[in-house]
Amino acid sequence: MSMLRSNESLTNLTDFVMQEAELADTHSYDQWLALWNQTEALYFVPYGDIDEPGLTVAVIRDDYLRMCDRINRLKSGQAHTQEPKSTLSRVLGQPVVRSLDDGRYLVQAKFVCVEIRPDREFLWAGTAKYTLAEVGTDRVELHRKVVHLVNLVRPVPALTFII
């Protein structure tokens, strides 16, 4: 991996990560799903520090079809822990962008996400790692999102929103 050189690419990639967080926080599920490459998609929240889905137990391990199922459930009202929807506010630290050998980019950012429910408040925190690809000159797509939660050292409530 090497540091990214183009300021325009850097801005596009960091803007993309900020947009992804905003869409998740506002429950803009269809727009959030549209960010993903349908073939490469992996949304992964592991227990522990391992980024490879076959090597560890996970809270979430979704390919594109499972993400579609998750989004449909959230939109249908059948995700009872999200009725009413959580109020979410996420703050991202400065994203670090690196070029990968295959032409994609790894963007990594620390985050804190406040979740407010009628019966509780919860603070989620960790590191999000995004594997992104530039498609043409004006589109970025998400191939992989790996979220390492510091909270998982203790029991946590259900994670039914988009973290």
Burial readout 32-49 (b: 16 or more C-beta within 10 A, e: otherwise): bbebbbeeebbbbbbeee
Contacts (Cβ under 8 Å, ≥6 apart) of 120: 157
User: Before 84, cis peptide (omega within 30)?
Assistant: yes
Helices (H), the chain: 7-25, 29-34, 64-76
Helix (H) or strand (E) holding 42: strand 42-46
Q: What is the pTM of this model?
A: 0.90
Residue 5 pLDDT: 47
pLDDT average, residue stretch 50-73: 86
Given a cut of 70, whether residue 78 has pLDDT beyond it is yes
Cα–Cα distances (Å) from 57 to 49, 150, 162, in that order, read 11, 15, 18
pLDDT tier, 65 (very low <50, low <70, confident <90, very high otherwise): very high
Phi then psi dihedrals of residue 25, to 5 deg = -65, -35
What domains are there in the chain, each with its CATH number? Answer: 2-153 (3.10.450.50)
Instruction: Compute CA distances 1 → 60, 87, 99, 149, whole Å.
Output: 27, 37, 5, 24
**Residue-wise pLDDT tens digits, 93-142:** 999 999 999 999 999 999 999 999 998 899 999 999 999 999 987 899 99
